Amino acid sequence: MKTIKYIQMKKNLVFLLSIFIFPYLYGQNPGFDQEKLDKIRYYNSRQLKNGLSVLDLQSDDSSQVYIRLFTDLPESTTKQYEAFISAEQQIRQNTIIRLPTTWSQATLTKAGLLLSKDAYGYFVSCPMEKLDTALLLLSQITKDPLSTASDLEKAKSILRNKCNNMLKLAHSRIGRVINGLIYGNGHPSTSLLSLKQIDGLSIKKYRQYYSKFYRPNNSYLMVISPFSADSILKISGKVFGHWKKKDVPDKKYKLKKIEETKIAYFDTLVDGQYELRMIFPFALHPFTFDYEKSELLSILIQKVLKRKLINETSLANTINASFQNDKISGNYSLNIKLDGDSIEKAIKLAIESMDELKAGNFLMGDLQQSKQELIGEFKNQKTDEQHLTWLTINTEINNLSPNYYAGFINDIENTEKQGVQLLANKYLNHQAAVFMITGRWYPSLNDVIKLSENYRIELYGLDGGIKRVIPKGFNGFHVLDDYVEAVGGQQSIAKLKDLSILLTGKYEMSNDEFFVKAILRHKAPNNYYKNISLIRPKKDTIFLNMEIYNGVNGIDSTMQGKKHVEGKALEILKYKSVIVPETHYRKWGFKSKIIRADIYDKKYVFVVGFNNQAGQQITDFYDVDSGLRYKRVIKDAAYLNERTILYKEYREIEGKGVIYPFYKLIIGKGTVIKLMIREINTKYEIDKKLFDFD
């Protein structure tokens, strides 16, 4: 048998080899004949010196012979030939027959030749004595392209419409992004033909390209006749031997191995509902050629998922599956349309269902019903000679066993639980799959947080760009890192050495109010000074509090006196000493957790909890997109031991690339403190003596 490149063997998976490649067969079947299919197993395969594959199948019918000629075009090639390949595929769909100049319908009729054309080449039936005439006709058809400029323009028009539609359709754009994750961004399935490429294809160029791609070494001649294999090979050599062998332009792609599950989220609703696609890259695994069992597995897993996700939990309303088949892929896609937005539950139950199937925990009744459905679909295909010739060529192209079609029904009937389990364990590996979700990103954030316990989630735009990454093991420190980046980043923050801040504000209590003036001094790395006074209008100014920390020790001064602080109070003073304390939370041993995603002030926020060695319990609200903190709730042993702080008006500090909240609102029991930064100075060098208190 002709050796087929490994990447070509993935062209047609499973049952698509027989049924899905013949969508036009359904509803037109005059009768299924297993005996005719049985004959395929006895076909012969030879090659001429020029590489033409000559297949033949002996027939008892001495009145007619049947011939098919098919040229196998590459699915991927260099960019200069992409437009030709696409146009030629469209032209192949056109069933209009154009004849060589020396032929006419009258000469065909006179010779008793019945010529037809389909997507799989030219097919001729004729009296056995006219075999050589029929072969001569096919050789002349192959010699030069018969398509006219009009045919080409029609194909180009179809391609333009397809490109325009696919550029607009979200599903198409998403599909190209997903293919990029599996095959890499340079793979042809990740891009579309440009209008420039399409418009640039002239009839002259088309004919030039035709001569490059229509060669004997990528073509197949199939003959059903009463003649011997040697006779068929001999006469084929006489007619087609002049056809010169030449390498066909193509391009190979190395498939990317997926090391762990990828979740790609698209913030868009397709058809108005959430959808989950679980894509298993079969093409990344060596094949066992149990194609038919793969289709059986597909039908079975759909039944299992429908029972779990539709009948029992009402999470979904539609489940279907498809194989993406060509010479450069081989993906299996489970498509689940959800009734709501419970994507985390749907993924969890889908994975549990597949694991149960791998363990053999499925209903035998489902397996039997799946067999019946698959066999019933198989029997929908025609078994006349026109289709037998293609099935034989398809067997050869994909390096199938000659018994594939003949034994299909028997193989399915004899497939038991263990066979299904073996295939499921080999191919349905959710740890090396891509999960694609289309839905609303922000309302799904709590599901995203749950999924991040086991998966990395990437939010994509329809242009393929990554807009956001939620890493596997997403936690409060990831949110904190976004905050640090949002306020300037570690590098810019580290450049701040001396920081003097003047604040004023209002201190409102239940029965009185005061004006507040505060001076803060930070000297890197960890020196801190704070002095707060209360101003009672038209009365007096009262010293309220002073705190000093020198990196090791601290004091706290009030109207009642000065004292050295220790324990938890000293720990809290240490936290205040750093200009942006959040840069040191890990170093100080803070513990964090993601509490939930929520809406605060009409913005989506991550609610994050922290606790530390000082006994503080902190709940922060960070903007999902900007990373800035809007709100903090603190519980500790300090004055106003349970307080809420609101942060507003983030502004840049004197062109330093660091932003700071210029307005803070502190709310405690019976107390409201409003603070506004009046001045921030980074040019004034702070004297270290300020932090000496011994």
Across residues 202-228, what is the average pLDDT? 95
Indicate which CATH number applies to the domain containing 79. Answer: 3.30.830
State whether 428 and 324 are in the same domain: yes
Q: How many CB atoms are located within 10 Å of the residue 278 CB? A: 24
Angle at CA 412, nearest 5°, toward 411 and 415? 85
Q: Are residues 200 and 290 in the same domain?
A: no
Asked whether residue 399 is assigned to any structural domain, the reply reads no
Same domain, 534 and 668: yes
Whether 530 and 520 have beta carbons less than 8 Å apart is answered as yes
Identify the band that residue 156 occupies on the pLDDT scale cut at 50, 70 and 90: very high
- Please report, as a single letter, which amino acid is at residue 169: L
Residue 331 lies in a domain: yes
Helix, strand, coil percent content, the chain, rounded in steps of 5: 35, 30, 35
Q: Domain with 468 in it: what CATH number?
A: 3.30.830.10
Q: How far is CA 637 from CA 203, 373, 614, 641, in A?
A: 84, 70, 9, 5
Q: Are residues 296 and 382 in the same domain?
A: yes
pLDDT of 15 higher than 70: no
Higher per-residue confidence, 58 vs 20 = 58
- Residue 512 maps to which CATH number? 2.50.20.10
Q: Is 337:315 a contact under the CB 8 Å cutoff?
A: no
Average pLDDT over residues 411-428: 89
Whether 230 and 274 map to the same domain: the answer is no
Domain count, the chain: 3
For residues 369-386, average pLDDT: 92
Q: Flag whether 660 is in a domain.
A: yes
Kindly state the average pLDDT of the residues 48-68. Answer: 95
pLDDT for the residue 301:
94
Q: Which pLDDT score is estimated for 165?
A: 83
* Residue numbers of the domain that contains 25: 8-171+191-240
This prediction has a pTM of 0.85
Q: Is the pLDDT of residue 57 over 90?
A: yes
User: Does residue 535 belong to any structural domain of this protein?
Assistant: yes
In a domain, residue 412? The reply is yes
Are 639 and 586 in the same domain? yes
Residues 205 and 303 in one domain: no
610: its two tokens:
């922290």
Of 450, 477, 504, the last residue of a domain is 477
Res 560 pLDDT > 80 = yes
Mean pLDDT throughout 321-333? 64
**What sign does the dihedral 307-308-312-318 (CA atoms) show?**
negative
381 is a domain residue? yes
Same domain, 230 and 196: yes
190 or 109: which leads in pLDDT = 109
Sequence-distant (6+) residues with CB within 8 A of 499 are 520, 521, 522, 523, 579, 653, 680, 681, 682
Question: Could you give the CA distance from residue 371 to residue 373 in angstroms, rounded to a whole number?
Answer: 5
Q: What is the mean pLDDT of the chain?
A: 88
Residues 218 and 352 reside in one and the same domain: no
* Cα angle: 357, vertex 361, 362; to 5 degrees: 75
Predicted local confidence at residue 280, as pLDDT = 85
Is 329 a domain residue?
yes
**In a shared domain, residues 423 and 373:** yes
Structure tokens at 282: 């079969």
What is the percent of the chain with per-residue pLDDT over 70, rounded to a whole number? 92
Residue 257 lies in a domain: no
CA–CA dist 278, 263 (Å, integer)? 9
User: Which domain-ending residue is among 416, 442, 477?
Assistant: 477
The region that residue 615 occupies, defined by phi over 0 for left and psi between -120 and 50 for alpha, beta otherwise, is left
Kindly state whether residues 199 and 301 are assigned to the same domain.
no
Burial of 154 (0-12, 13-18, 19+ CB in 10 A): middle
Q: For residue 7, is pLDDT > 50?
A: no
Span 641-662, pLDDT tens digits? 899 999 999 999 988 999 999 9
In angstroms, the CA 417 to CA 365 distance is 11
pLDDT band at 74 (very low <50, low <70, confident <90, very high): confident
- What percentage of the chain carries pLDDT values higher than 90? 68
289 and 157 in one domain? no
pLDDT for the residue numbered 6: 28
The mean pLDDT value for 115-125 works out to 93
Residue 290 — very low, low, confident or very high, per pLDDT cuts 50/70/90? low
